Chain A
Amino acid sequence: MSIDIETARRVAKLARIAVPENELPELANEFSAILGFIEQLNEVDVDGIEPMTSVTPQRLKRRDDVVNDGGQQEAVLKNAPDAREGFFAVPKVVE
Chain B
Amino acid sequence: MSELSKLKISEARDALKKGEVTSVELTQACLSEIEKADALGAFVHKTPELALDMAKAADANKAGGDLNGIPLGIKDLFCTKGVASQAASGILEGFKPEYESTVTTQLFADGAVMLGKLNMDEFAMGSSNETSVYGNAVNPWKRGNDDAQLTPGGSSGGSASAVAADLCLGATGTDTGGSIRQPAAFTGITGIKPTYGRVSRWGVVAFASSLDQAGPMTKDVRDSAIMLKAMSGHDPKDSTSADLAVPDFEAALTGDIRGKTIGIPKEYRMDGMPEEISKLWDDGTTMLKDAGAVIKDISLPHTQYALPAYYVIAPAEASSNLARYDGVRFGHRAKLEAGDGITEMYEKTRAEGFGNEVKRRVMIGTYVLSAGFYDAYYNRARKVRALIKRDFENVFADGVDAILTPATPSSAFELGAMKDADPVQMYLNDVFTVTTNLAGLPGIAVPAGLDKNGLPLGLQLIGRPWEEGDLLNTAYALEQSLQFVAKPNRWW
**Chain A: residues with CB nearer than 8 A to chain B?**
7, 11-12, 14-19, 27, 30-31, 33-35, 37-44, 46, 49-56, 58, 60-61, 63, 72, 75-76, 78-82, 88, 90-93
B308 touches A11 (CB 8 A): no
B387 touches A49 (CB 8 A): yes
B275 interface residue (CB < 8 Å to A): no
A14 touches B370 (CB 8 A): yes
Q: How far is the CA of A78 from the CA of B81 in the complex (A)?
A: 12
A56 touches B383 (CB 8 A): no
A15 touches B210 (CB 8 A): no
Q: Which residues of A contact B329 (CB under 8 A)?
A: 79-80, 88
Q: Which residues of A contact B239 (CB under 8 A)?
A: 60-61
A17 touches B347 (CB 8 A): yes
Chain B interface helix/strand/loop/mixed? helix
Which stretch of B59-67, B162-170, B334-342, B443-451 is in the interface? B334-342
Q: How far is the CA of A43 from the CA of B94 in the complex (A)?
A: 46
B194 interface residue (CB < 8 Å to A): no
Q: With both chains docked as a complex, state the minimum distance between the C-beta of B434 and any C-beta of chain A, in angstroms.
A: 13
Known pairs A18-B350, A27-B363, A88-B329; A55 contacts B196 (CB<8 A): yes
Could you name 22 residue pairs across A and B whose Cβ atoms are closer than 8 Å?
A11-B367, A12-B363, A14-B366, A16-B343, A16-B347, A17-B351, A17-B359, A30-B423, A34-B311, A34-B360, A38-B308, A44-B302, A46-B383, A53-B382, A55-B240, A78-B96, A79-B95, A81-B328, A82-B333, A88-B329, A90-B328, A93-B342
Interface string of B425-464 (1 = CB under 8 A from A): 0010000000000011000000000000000000000000
Q: Which residues of A contact B240 (CB under 8 A)?
A: 54-56, 60
Q: Which of B302, B328, B383, B427 is packed against the most chain A CB atoms within 10 Å? A: B383
B364 interface residue (CB < 8 Å to A): yes
Q: How far is the CA of A49 from the CA of B387 in the complex (A)?
A: 8
Known pairs A41-B384, A75-B98, A90-B328; A17 contacts B350 (CB<8 A): yes
Q: Which residues of A contact B377 (CB under 8 A)?
A: 38, 41
Q: Which residues of A contact B336 (CB under 8 A)?
A: 91
Q: With both chains docked as a complex, state the minimum distance between the C-beta of A24 and any C-beta of chain B, in angstroms.
A: 11
Q: How far is the CA of A53 from the CA of B382 in the complex (A)?
A: 8
Q: Which residues of A contact B360 (CB under 8 A)?
A: 27, 30, 34
**Total of A-B residue pairs, C-beta within 8 Å:** 166
Closest A residue to B329 by CB, please name it. A80
B181 interface residue (CB < 8 Å to A): no
Q: How far is the CA of A40 from the CA of B384 in the complex (A)?
A: 11
Among candidates A34, A60, A93, residue contacting B341 with C-beta atoms closer than 8 Å: A93
Q: Which residues of B contact A16 (CB under 8 A)?
A: 323, 326, 343, 346-347, 350
8 shortest interchain CB distances as A-B pairs: A55-B440, A51-B382, A81-B333, A79-B330, A75-B98, A46-B383, A18-B347, A18-B351
Q: With both chains docked as a complex, state the minimum distance between the C-beta of A28 and any C-beta of chain B, in angstroms.
A: 11
B331 touches A79 (CB 8 A): yes
Q: Which residues of B contact A37 (CB under 8 A)?
A: 307-308, 311, 424, 427
Interface string of B288-330 (1 = CB under 8 A from A): 0000000000000010110111011000000100010011111
B311 touches A18 (CB 8 A): no
Known pairs A16-B347, A17-B351, A88-B329; A44 contacts B342 (CB<8 A): no
A52 touches B382 (CB 8 A): yes
Q: Which residues of B contact A41 (CB under 8 A)?
A: 305, 308-309, 312, 377, 380-381, 384
B386 interface residue (CB < 8 Å to A): yes
B135 interface residue (CB < 8 Å to A): no
A31 touches B367 (CB 8 A): yes
Closest A residue to B332 by CB, please name it. A81
